[in-house]
């Protein structure tokens, strides 16, 4: 397996896109500058935040406050009104959450929203999308993008993703603390430990987060560092990701032209295509 510090293939500059595989990801911007980095161990949701502990206020019910007992609202009409309020409140909350998720996905978030993540967020069996690019399965995705963007043609998109998706590691299995890379008939494995995250700011103004893992064993067939980018910024299960690997941690952070992209291995090409065109 080839392990390079950074792949130096060149490609024309893009500054207005943000979803790769899914569109053009944070990893696909042409230039970046790095900002604050955290290197603490990743937390779990509800635990200590990387930049300080998050406190959640208890709801009235959790504080033992009984609204009905205190105010005498026990009849059916009041109960019906409260149910209507709850439904409207839940709808508003979900709508706000969806908007926030979309903003984060597109690379707009505050530093304090970012948290370290455990490797378990990426546990699973993953396949490269590069073969689907090569066999034409993803051509419809590029046609969809070109129809929305007058600055690039279908052929230009195909050339762009040829550089972005290219990889000789067609399958990756992540289990507990171990990565296993599959390249043809060969496979290589090593344990990795969390090595912090880096917030990157791109030329277009949006941002991304690289979550970094360092090799914990003397296994030269595996890269020293592996970095994830998946449009998420705090602990949550990944549905696809862009991966960077090599032996130079800082050089990898500058790599914005090659972002090997992986989806669950149980999806076929048509399902991956639908996932990509949905964004």
pLDDT tens digits along 1-58 = 544 433 333 333 333 343 444 544 433 443 344 444 544 444 333 333 333 333 222 2
Domain assignment of residue 183, given as a range: 26-44+111-277
pLDDT at 75: 47
Mean pLDDT of the chain: 77
Torsion of the alpha carbons at 220, 222, 225 and 231, rounded to the nearest 10: 180
Listed range (125-139, 140-154, 262-276) with the worst mean pLDDT: 140-154
Task: Tell me the C-alpha distance between 176 and 270, whole Å.
Answer: 29
Q: Pairing between strand 225-229 and 171-175?
A: unpaired
CATH number assigned to the domain comprising residue 200: 2.40.128.20
| Number of domains comprising the chain | 1
Q: What's the pTM value of the predicted model, to 2 decimals?
A: 0.71
Residue 208 lies in a domain: yes
For range 227-248, the mean pLDDT: 97
- Is residue 130 assigned to a domain? yes
Q: Specify the pLDDT at position 76.
A: 45
Model confidence pLDDT, tens digit, residues 155-166: 999 999 999 999
In a domain, 69, yes or no: no
Q: What is the pLDDT of residues 178-212, one digit of tens each?
A: 999 999 999 999 999 999 999 999 888 999 999 99
């Amino acid at each position: 397996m080839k392990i390079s510090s950074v792949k130096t293939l060149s490609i024309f500059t893009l500054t207005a896109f943000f979803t790769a595989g899914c569109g053009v990801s944070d990893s696909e911007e042409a230039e970046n500058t790095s900002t604050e980095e955290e290197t603490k161990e990743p937390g779990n949701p509800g635990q200590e935040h990387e930049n300080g502990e998050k406190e959640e206020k208890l709801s009235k019910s959790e504080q033992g406050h009984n609204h009905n007992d205190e105010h005498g609202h026990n009849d059916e009409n009041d109960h019906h009104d409260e149910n209507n309020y709850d439904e409207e409140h839940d709808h508003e909350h979900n709508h706000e959450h969806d908007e926030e998720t979309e903003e984060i996905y597109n690379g707009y978030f505050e530093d304090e929203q970012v948290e370290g993540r455990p490797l378990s967020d990426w546990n699973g069996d993953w396949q490269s999308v590069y073969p689907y690019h090569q066999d034409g399965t993803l051509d419809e995705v590029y046609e969809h993008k070109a129809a929305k963007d007058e600055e690039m043609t279908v052929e230009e998109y195909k050339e762009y993703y040829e550089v972005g998706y290219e990889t000789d590691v067609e399958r990756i299995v992540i289990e507990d603390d171990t990565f296993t890379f599959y390249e043809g008939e060969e496979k290589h494995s090593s344990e990795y430990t969390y090595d912090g995250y880096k917030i990157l700011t791109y030329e277009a103004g949006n941002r991304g987060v690289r979550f970094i893992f360092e090799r914990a064993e003397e296994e030269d067939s595996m890269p020293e560092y592996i970095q994830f980018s998946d449009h998420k910024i705090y602990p949550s299960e990944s549905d696809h990701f862009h991966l960077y690997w090599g032996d130079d941690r800082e050089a990898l952070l500058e790599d914005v032209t090659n972002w090997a992209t992986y989806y669950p291995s149980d999806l076929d090409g048509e399902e991956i295509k639908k996932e990509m065109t949905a964004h």
